[in-house]
């Protein structure tokens, strides 16, 4: 007696806006620009350059089959992060590993 997908109760609560739980989180400690920079640098930045056969290519801290890196990294930051977000509004940034920088994606 197979169960139809419509008969299955969801395991997780429904979230209308996936960012709401993240953006509404309040931290006990201040988040500094330096700590965000260190997290990105040690987890997804460039780690080395290789050269061979007249070509140069970069390696990243995070592994990827064939060094293709089909992933992009976004940072959702709460309000009040030094130099990045206002005191009242959170923001979403796109991380650029080649320049170790963030670009504002949305408010």
Percent residues over pLDDT 70 in the chain: 79
As a whole number of angstroms, the distance between CA 28 and CA 48 comes to 36
Please give the DSSP secondary-structure letter assigned to residue 98. Answer: T
As a whole number of angstroms, the distance between CA 104 and CA 8 comes to 40
Round the average pLDDT of the chain to a whole number and report it: 79
pLDDT band at 52 (very low <50, low <70, confident <90, very high): very high
As a whole number of angstroms, the distance between CA 20 and CA 12 comes to 15
Of 69, 76, 78, 77, the C-alpha closest to 45 is 69
As a whole number of angstroms, the distance between CA 80 and CA 87 comes to 4
pTM: 0.62
pLDDT of residue 11: 75
pLDDT of residue 51: 92
As a whole number of angstroms, the distance between CA 9 and CA 104 comes to 38
How confident is the model over 74-85, as a mean pLDDT? 80
Q: Which residues make Cβ contacts (< 8 Å) with residue 36, sequence separation at least 6?
A: 75, 77, 81, 84
pLDDT of residue 12: 72
Please give the DSSP secondary-structure letter assigned to residue 34. Answer: H
Number of helical (H) and strand (E) elements in the chain, helices listed first: 2, 5
């Amino acid at each position: 007696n197979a169960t139809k997908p419509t008969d299955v109760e969801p395991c997780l609560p429904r979230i209308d806006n996936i960012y709401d739980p993240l953006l509404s989180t309040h931290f006990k400690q201040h988040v500094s620009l330096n700590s965000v920079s260190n997290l990105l640098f040690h987890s997804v930045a460039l780690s080395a350059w290789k050269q061979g056969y007249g070509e140069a290519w970069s390696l990243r801290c995070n592994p990827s089959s064939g060094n293709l890196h089909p992933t992009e990294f976004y940072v959702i930051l709460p309000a009040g992060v030094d130099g990045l977000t206002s005191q009242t509004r959170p923001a979403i940034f796109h991380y650029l590993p080649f320049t170790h920088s963030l670009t504002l994606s949305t408010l």
